[in-house]
Amino acid sequence: MDSYADMYRMMCLIRFYENRMAEVYAEGKSPLFSIAAGPVPGEMHLAAGQEPVAVGVIRHLRRDDVVTAPHRPHHFAIAKGIDLRRMTAEIFGRTAGLSHGKGGHMHLFDPAVHFSCSGIVGAGFPPAVGAAFAFRRQHRDSVAVAFAGEGAANQGTFHESLNLAALWKAPVIFVIEDNHYAISVPKEQSTAIANNSDRAQAYGIPGVFVRGNDVLAVSEAASEAVARARAGKGPTLLEIETTRFYGHFQGDAETYLGAEEKEKWRQSDPIPQFRDYLLAHHLLTPDDDAAIQTEVAELVEDAIAYARQSPEPQPADALTDVFAPSLGGK
């Protein structure tokens, strides 16, 4: 399992990536905003501020454990160990991308680390339960984690999946990322109870709400949930309070959000807080921190440079991989 300094490094890598992606995304998109202009020709949902959710949970996972993620997937993908170069090339829509430019940033996948995501809110819950079911049937101790936002917890698939996972004692962990807003609608205006984690009771499984966007608290809750799943004791529902530093998408004017609220979020940035904690406990030195900042910047710049030089796909590439290559006359 990663050390605290490794967790900090991962959070910094995600943050640097998201901040740089915000800059790269803006290239060519001003003065007139056009979604197709610049090197990233599509939508962009950034996860800066939400690093504790990804890092706190995924540090307990192995390479063979499955993660399904939603439309805001970068932090999960990076924490799961996805190839950063190919991920970036995919976001740029280039041939070196994970799906050769067919997917874009909301549809990242990497079979090597068992990571996938979907652009449909709530769609990832049932496949995660299915993966967990397959592991049990194959007598493997792998687990599956379905990440989704608090808005997704109002989808029918969420409830159907919790019921089925509880019934089957499937090795799956449901992680709800509560960043307070489903695009513009605050949680209290969409959800009948304060904490989605309480909904676990309805399915007879543990439900834990983790406050404060605190990576160590997340890690503690996830540690228990993953151990429980791996031991064959069934699913857990975690809901993790977090904050979204950027808008729902890049270009979101965030008219629904007061400047004060946003400023409060920025003031409680989980990364400096964790750094101060590590420094105070002598788990990190200022020199370590400087080295980490240099290293993550190099990794991200390398990935961006790699993406920029990758060629664009050919039109004919749009027609490939609809079905498996014909095998034995099937």
Partner 1 sequence: MAVMSYLEAIRETLRQEMRHDQRIIIYGEDVGVRGGVFRVTEGLQKEFGEDRVIDSPLAEAAIIGTAIGAAVNGLRPVPEIQFADFIFPAFNQIVQEAARIRYRSNGEFGVPLVIRAPFGGGVHGALYHSQSVEAFFAHVPGLKVVIPSTPYDAKGLLAAAIQDEDPVLYFEHKAAYRSIKGEVPEERYIIPIGKADLKRPGKDLSIITYGLMVSYAQKAAETLEKEGISVEILDLRSIRPLDVEMILETAKRTGKVLIVHEDNLTGGIGGEVSALIAEHALFDLDAPIMRLAGPDVPAMPYSPPLEHAFMVTSDKITEAARKLAKF
Footprint of partner 1 (CB under 8 A): 66, 68, 98-100, 102-103, 107, 109, 111, 116, 118, 120, 123, 125-135, 137-138, 144, 156-157, 160-161, 163-164, 167, 320-325, 327, 329-330
What value does the CA radius of gyration of the chain take, rounded to a whole number of Å?
20
In the complex with partner 1, the residue whose CB is nearer, 118 or 243, is 118
What pairs with residue 178 in β-bridges?
Answer: 241
- Tell me the closest approach of the beta carbon of residue 63 to partner 1, in angstroms: 14
- Tell me the closest approach of the beta carbon of residue 175 to partner 1, in angstroms: 16
- Tell me the closest approach of the beta carbon of residue 287 to partner 1, in angstroms: 41
In the complex with partner 1, the residue whose CB is nearer, 112 or 305, is 112
Alpha-carbon gap, residue 214 to 4, rounded angstroms: 13
Alpha-carbon gap, residue 90 to 115, rounded angstroms: 14
- Tell me the closest approach of the beta carbon of residue 249 to partner 1, in angstroms: 20
- Tell me the closest approach of the beta carbon of residue 51 to partner 1, in angstroms: 26
Q: Who contacts 144 (Cβ-Cβ below 8 Å, separation ≥6)?
A: 65, 66, 67, 68, 128, 129, 131, 132, 135, 170, 171, 172, 173
What pairs with residue 237 in β-bridges?
Answer: 174, 207
Longest dimension (CA), the chain: 66
- Tell me the closest approach of the beta carbon of residue 99 to partner 1, in angstroms: 5
Strands (E), the chain: 66-69, 109-110, 115-117, 144-149, 172-178, 181-182, 185-186, 207-210, 236-241
In the complex with partner 1, the residue whose CB is nearer, 115 or 246, is 115
* Nearest of 219, 169, 225, 170 to residue 197 by alpha carbon: 225
